Amino acid sequence: MRGIIPAAIVLLCAAQLPLSAQKNSVTKKNSTVTEAVVTYGIRANGKEQPGSSLKLFIRNGQAHIVQGNNREKEQQYIDYAENATLQVLSLEDGSVSVLKKPFSSQAEATLLPDTATILGYPCKKAKLTVRSNAIEVWYTTALAVKGSPTFSIAPQLGLVLKIVRNGNFETFARDITFRKVTDQELAWPGNKGTLVDEPSYQAVIINSRYKTINIFTNEQLSFGNPINNPEGEQLNQTYHYSGGTIVLKKVALPKARRGQNLFAELTQRSNGDAYDRTGSVFIIPLDKKETFLKGLKEGSKALPSFTASNGKVYQGVVATDNYLPILEVMRFFTPFGVGHFNKQVQIKGYPWADSVIYKQDVSELLPRLEGEVWVGVFIGNYDKGGHKVSLDFKYYPGFEGERPEAQSTAWIMPVFNTTNVMEMTGQEYGTMFEKDSLTVMVDIPTGVSNLKMRYITTGHGGWGGGDEFNPKLNEIFVDGQRVYHFIPWRTDCAVYRLSNPSSGNFGTGLSSSDLSRSNWCPGTLTLPVDVPLPDLKPGKHTFKVAIPLGKSEGGSFSAWNVSGTLIGDKK
């Protein structure tokens, strides 16, 4: 009996083995298993991110990375038989694009002597740099399975159990389960899809993340050509007005969603006009009995007007009880002859741009950009070739909870706009500041609060003494009290020289397009400024804009294009 050890004592001894011995036993047991599921979590600045979920399904040298609920359009894989990663993008139209990249194209890792134990497995450390991000990788080679939670970071080293980016963003393994991986979990793409190169793939995936609504494509804005507009007021039909310098279309726009961002993107190219011209993207409000659409159809004299102290009549400029002026979405300025004149003006070291793209976040106007809306583009010119423009509205989904103000902002009212988009058919220039301030009475409805004014201003008068080249104070008054003042001025116009092939060159070495201007440059946007009006209550209020307009010289005169839109929350 002395040589027989009771079974209970054997079990007790096994239970008391050192933890490291138990882990070594587990590691040895799993060193030949080729199927596993690894679950990862995410920490930012030491705090685990709630709801973060990432799984890595591994089977026989193939791995599928699944984020969240696996509803992503893009799926990511690692193929160890081919030593390559796969990105597979499936779109709603049924198209499938596949990008295959060899491991050798990934950032090269430097192996370090550091070691650690993660989930009981011995790990080694490597470091690499990806687009100036410092990456630390902890991986184990003690298992038969390989994979990485980020397909582009060290998939070839082994099974990656932790990735730390810039010292504060961490992807870490929570659990490894060794079990059969189903076909549905692996979801291997096989021969499905079209193999594309990386530039093509990146273009497809980026474009798939947002929705583009095309408004205009390569429309000509010129003067003096025949105009044959469609009958009536048809949806999705293009109309030309004011001698051809305005293009207009009624479009159906989607309802805004929480967190959404809207960008207006206009592409412009000269089609024969060599000069810097005022341009505007606008919408026509239909809230009131009278609309700007009537003026386009019947002429500027059909618009509500007022006579200023200088004796001039100004049409369609200010809001009344029965009329709202056009709401300016984006103010832009064409450069000198971009595109059309590139070959006619060649200078060594000056690779002229083919066109100019103006892109602006106009999310705050979303409540006005829903349903059926008249959208227009204006470029003032007297040229039969004129300009070509394309306009897109791009809707970006954003993130849940982002931009809550985009949902609460529900009251938007354009109150004045002196940009004479019907310049070519008689609408007066913004010269009322000569002896007056621009004055408008506004009735703010009950329930509107947290007001601001979206104010856009540019000065014009293109000679040495004109307001284009001389800083002028802009003042805004509400009920007689000055609420905002500044001098709108741009000193960065030389940045845009390569968009201005036909700009004149002076003996000083400067180009005309280099010169500083009153809040604009040839080839740029003019961004709005926000005038905060948080204490303004519902009821009637008087708004005034005062600018010291420069004196005329001979046939030259100055003018100011100013537009003001009130934006507030409405209960």
Q: What is the pLDDT of residues 347-403, one digit of tens each?
A: 999 999 999 999 999 999 999 999 999 999 999 999 999 999 999 999 999 765 454
Enumerate the domain spans of the chain.
31-205, 210-570
The residue among 70 and 166 whose pLDDT is bigger is 166
Please tell me the predicted confidence (pLDDT) of residue 29. Answer: 67
pLDDT band (50, 70, 90) for residue 123 = very high
Q: Which two three-digit tokens encode residue 496?
A: 């845009």
Closest CA to 366 of 468, 254, 473: 254
Q: Is it the case that residue 17 has pLDDT exceeding 60? A: no
pTM: 0.87
In 10 A of CB 82, how many CB atoms? 13
Q: Is it the case that residue 27 has pLDDT exceeding 90? A: no
Under a CB-based contact definition with an 8 Å cutoff, are residues 471 and 487 in contact? yes
Q: Which two three-digit tokens encode residue 274?
A: 């060599």
**Strand locations in 303-432 (E):** 305-307, 313-315, 327-333, 356-361, 371-379, 387-396, 409-417
Q: What is the pLDDT of residues 232-252, one digit of tens each?
A: 999 999 999 999 999 999 999
Q: What is the pLDDT of residues 444-483, one digit of tens each?
A: 999 999 999 999 999 999 999 999 999 999 999 999 999 9
Intra-chain end-to-end CA distance of the chain, in Å: 91
Average pLDDT in the 518-528 region?
98
In 10 A of CB 14, how many CB atoms? 10
Q: Is it the case that residue 2 has pLDDT exceeding 50? A: no
Decide if domain 31-205 falls under CATH 2.50.20. Answer: yes
Q: Which CATH superfamily is domain 210-570 in?
A: Peptide-N-glycosidase F, N-terminal domain (2.60.120.1570)
Please tell me the predicted confidence (pLDDT) of residue 409. Answer: 60
Average pLDDT in the 292-319 region?
96
Q: What is the pLDDT of residues 532-556, one digit of tens each?
A: 999 999 999 999 999 999 999 999 9
Closest CA to 332 of 296, 374, 368, 282: 282
Closest CA to 362 of 335, 327, 389: 327
Strand 169-177 to 35-44 pairing: antiparallel
Distances (CA, A) of 502 to 24, 341, 352, 481, 521: 76, 6, 10, 45, 15
